Amino acid sequence: MMLEQGETVPAVSVKDADGLDFTLDRYRGKPLVVYFYPKADTPGCTSEAKDFTELAGDFAAAAVPVVGISKDKPAKLKKFADKYGLTVTLASDEPGTACEAFGTWVEKSLYGRNYMGIARATFLIGADGTVLRVWPKVKVKGHAAEVLGAVQAL
């Protein structure tokens, strides 16, 4: 089950694009946006990351960091960020613990084939570590601006 509004964000460890471990708890005390995406350097995921990067100044002005999480290796995330000039924090969840904890590791279907993958979803987390809002099954176009609107309404 995907985390829902009012639930506490689990303390999970991920790696940044340099391969260094960190937990989302390091952001405790301020709101945070966490978005999960299936795979770096694919069209939808690239658009989403670029959209969040374009609005990074507005998120920073609201003092709300943005973290994108996928199961890609840190080296791939670094290459992805460098290729597109991405400024949002990209995190690697290779073992899938964060995906499992947030409920974004789900069964998917494509052309009649079932497989496990990351559901594109975004979470707005409050300063106290509880989920304020969830966007499940995200459609990329306009999504980052919608999330920014929710952040600015805090």
Per DSSP, helices labelled H in 68-131 are: 74-84, 97-102
Choose the catalytic residue: 12, 17, 40, 45: 45
SS3 state of residue 35: strand
Domains and CATH numbers, the chain: 13-152 (3.40.30.10)
What distance in Å separates the CA atoms of residue 109 and residue 103, rounded to the nearest whole number?
A: 17
Tens-place pLDDT, residues 20-40: 999 988 898 999 999 999 999
Per the annotation, the verdict on 45 as an active-site residue is yes
pLDDT value at residue 64: 97
pLDDT value at residue 125: 97
Are 74 and 42 a contacting pair, CB within 8 Å? no
Q: What is the pTM of this model?
A: 0.94
